[in-house]
Structure 1
Amino acid sequence: MPAPGPSGAPRPTGCDNRPRSTGSSRVPHVAEPQPSSLQFFANAYPDGTLGADVSGTVTVINDTAARMLHITVAEAIGRPLDEVLLLQDSQGRSWLDYNRPFESINIRTGIPEQSWQLSDGTEVLVTARLVRREPLGELLGVGLGLRGGRGRARLDRERSDLVATVAHELRSPLTGVKGFVQAMLNRWDKLNDEQKKLMLTTVNVDADRLSRLIAELLDVARIDTGRLSIYARPVDAALLVGRVVDSVQAGTARKVVHTVAESLPEIAADPDKFTQVVTNLVENAVRHGEGTITVSLTHEAAGEGLDDREAVVLTVDDEGDGIAPEIRRRVFTKFWTGGVTGGSGLGMYIVNGLTRAHGGRVEVDDAPGGGARVRVIWPIADDEE
């Protein structure tokens, strides 16, 4: 026989999947909440929230919680909590059966966040506060907070991806550094100057890779937390892009073509951040694309690139396979990689974050004749800047 609920009725041992009655005899009328009412403030709360009195009867539930529990506010008010909070754990136990808030000792003040599931498998994160007349006093009721588990699951996946990516990206250069340093320590007297120089040069390159990965991770953290520092001023985009193209061209056999429109206005940018955007885009094109890389700068009037401002458009084209339309939105997510050459998968996420922080926009399209085209639409500097 199931344990009795707080109202004396038998308590269900699992989720009740019976259809909810919508008849007028079961559904009390709920008036539109007034600005001074508890229901009004409950609806203003971003998470799901509901409360029940000491008899286990639902006295308040906001719209968010009602949607999560697949019930209306009118249906929930006045019903037993165990008929509204139809949640189970992996062993088929209900939230009420597992936590028994109405049978708690008087020193218990709350129930920490737990993961529960609706009958359709949707995860719901539930916390509870036991309301007492005074500390250690009589229980008056219970207040519950509900949040969807999808956001936490996404964050957990991102953290796991971050750990895996960092471990993978760190392992390769660290292995090289360790190997060459060990070889020099063991065989220093037997190595000639050219061999020593080669090993030290390789160690230096690997150290640069590590420094760049750490810088990318710090940039991602600043973008995610909104703590990105931007020191924008009028900047000659053609000069900065030209420097990046020359640097990349010096390290690759691929042809990189650079074109600049006449009378190009200055852009409003943090020079270091803009250089980082250009570097990421051109290096990505060299790493993942094929054929000639074309880097161009053009001027677009207000209403063309950005709604209300003139813009300079940086376009990077390659002659590879391009990026399929159905995955273009994923290009700007963390850890996305589009080729077999690997990489941290953070470059395009950083490009998008830095560009948006300046009021710009990034687009991915097909290049003329095939390949991928990435357009960075960047606002020009105002006269007063």
Structure 2
Amino acid sequence: MTGAGTDWTALDALPDPAVVVAPDGTVVHATPLLGRLLRRAANELAGRPVAEAVPLLEETGRDWWACRRPLDPDPGTRRLPETELTLVDHAGGHRPVLLTARRAAGEQAALVVVLRRGERRRRLDAARSELVSTVSHELRSPLTSVKGFVKTLLTKWEQFTDAQRRQMLATVDADADRVTRLLGELLDVSRIDAGRLPLRRSMIDLADVADQVIQRVD
């Protein structure tokens, strides 16, 4: 798969902006999403030097194309690792992007560059951090309760009646179930993030769910 002789329009169906670069550094094909991200028509990019058509800056402000030189022939490198960069659009605006690139097969192989919007990644990272903070807080409460009841029973067992002991142990059991449920939900989130969570539809009683939530709050 080289540059000029290949139909690259199939890339237009990708959910992320992409550009195909010939070995001489000119744009072979740009997807409509990339044109939208750059605020110009995608067909205007073809034939232009990629460093001018798709300006990418490193964190230091240096030109990524010139510094990284991804078009230099390197038989041992087919894929470039994901890199955080800044894309400069046609109006001079700066947009954070995540770049991945892969060299097509062949001696004169084109380079296929895919850009993912960095804003989405940052939102996901923020949501993930918030989730971890929330789960940590939710775990601390039942664990503190379990620790307190167990310590009390160990040190003052003889001071409680059988009914009081059963009540305290029932509370410990309920809190342990809560911790197990929270850990299961956290694992589900990690599976969703990895795209490996099978979804099973089932009927639920909304009134029963609402009652459970109210009981937890109370």
TM-score band by shorter chain is 0.7 to 0.9
Cα pair 2:100 2:114 within 8 Å, conserved? yes
Match of 1:46 among 6, 9, 15: 15
SS in 2 for 1:117: strand
Instruction: Give, as a single letter, the amino acid of the residue that structure 2 aligns with 1:122.
Output: R
- Deviations 1:165-223 (CA, angstroms, capped at 9, x unpaired): 21111111011111221232233345443542342233133234334435655777798
The residue type paired with residue 100 of structure 2 is T
The question of whether the paired residues in 2 share the 8 Å contact of 1:219 and 1:228 is answered with no
| Structure 2 residue 50 is matched with structure 1 residue 81 | yes
When Rg is computed on C-alpha atoms for both structures, the one with the higher figure is 1
Give the AA of the match of 2:29. Answer: V
The 10-residue stretch of structure 1 (74-83 or 142-151) with the greater mean CA deviation from structure 2: 142-151
**8 Å CA contact retained: 1:222, 1:228:** no
Matched, 1:127 2:100: yes
**105, 108, 114: which is aligned to 2:74?**
105
Aligned partner of 2:152 in structure 1 is: 183
| 1:228 equivalent in alignment to 2:157 | no
- The farther-off stretch of 76-85 and 158-167 is 158-167
1:68 is matched with: 37
**Using a 3 Å threshold, how does the CA distance of structure 1 residues 230 and 102 change in structure 2: closer, same or farther?**
closer
- Pairwise CA RMSD: 3.1
Question: Structure 2: which amino acid aligns with 1:69?
Answer: L
**How far off its partner does 1:280 sit?**
2.8
Deviation of the 1:84 alpha carbon: 1.2
Matched pairs, number = 207
2:135 paired residue number: 166
Give the aligned residue type for 2:56. Answer: L
Deviations 1:50-93 (A, max 9, x none): 11212111111111122122232232111101101212122102
1:213 aligns with 2:182: yes
CA distance in 1, matches of 2:192, 2:80: 34
Q: What residue ranges of structure 1 are gaps of 5+ in the alignment?
A: 1-36, 232-269, 289-340, 343-385
Provide the identity percentage: 37
Taking structure 1 as reference, are residues 103 and 223 closer, same or farther at Cα in structure 2, changes over 3 Å only? closer
Contact 2:30/2:43 (CA < 8 Å) preserved in 1? no
| Equivalent position amino acid for 1:281 in 2 | A
Distance 1:140 1:73, change over 3 A: same
Distance 1:283 1:192, change over 3 A: closer
Q: What residue ranges of structure 2 are gaps of 5+ in the alignment?
A: 1-5
- Structure 1 residue corresponding to 2:169, chosen from 195, 200, 208: 200
| Alignment partners' CA distance in 2, 1:124 and 1:145 | 10
**Alignment partners' CA distance in 1, 2:190 and 2:207:** 20
User: Aligned residue for 1:117?
Assistant: 86
